[in-house]
Amino acid sequence: MEKAGYLQRTGYKAFDSEGNVHDIVELHILSVRYAIRRSDLAKAISGHVFVQVEELTHNWNYYLGATSGLAQVSVSGKALNIDIFNEGSFTVSLRALGSVMFGKERLAFIMKIPEQAPQSQKTRRVTLDQKCISAMV
């Protein structure tokens, strides 16, 4: 896996489309800024549910934009898997995420999950001189 970005808790608050203010955790993935609402992130960690990863824009204040992906705790319970639409899948360790959330660390690294190459199906080669055997009933 290769490093694709980082996650940080800045303490900034962001406005959603309805004008509500939310505490956020900022994600920088492949030089693009995203955000996850802290309340949603707490639900994801405790309940293994999907949360939205939203675009983050800065124009005097921070604003949450359209949903850009989804995040969920891994099956093993050791990482947060982030799927950004049309960009790929990424992961961050829950231990590192917890250190950032509780203020012990400033940021946690996000790693890109390598794309799985489709497995080629084994095809059976039949030669021309090979005969077909069938059962007689």
> Does position 91 have pLDDT exceeding 90, yes or no?
yes
How high is the pLDDT of residue 93? 94
Whether residue 77 has pLDDT greater than 80: yes
> What are the residue ranges spanned by the domains of the chain?
2-112
Average pLDDT over residues 11-35: 92
| pTM given for the model | 0.78
If you average pLDDT over residues 24-47, what whole number do you get? 91
Q: What is the mean pLDDT of residues 43-59?
A: 89
Task: Calculate the alpha carbon distances from 68 to 52, 62, 133 in Å.
Answer: 8, 16, 55
* Alpha-carbon separation of residue 121 from 83, 93, 115, 124, 128 (angstroms): 27, 34, 18, 10, 22
Asked if the model's pLDDT at residue 103 lies above 70, the reply is yes
Q: What is the average per-residue pLDDT within 84-111?
A: 92
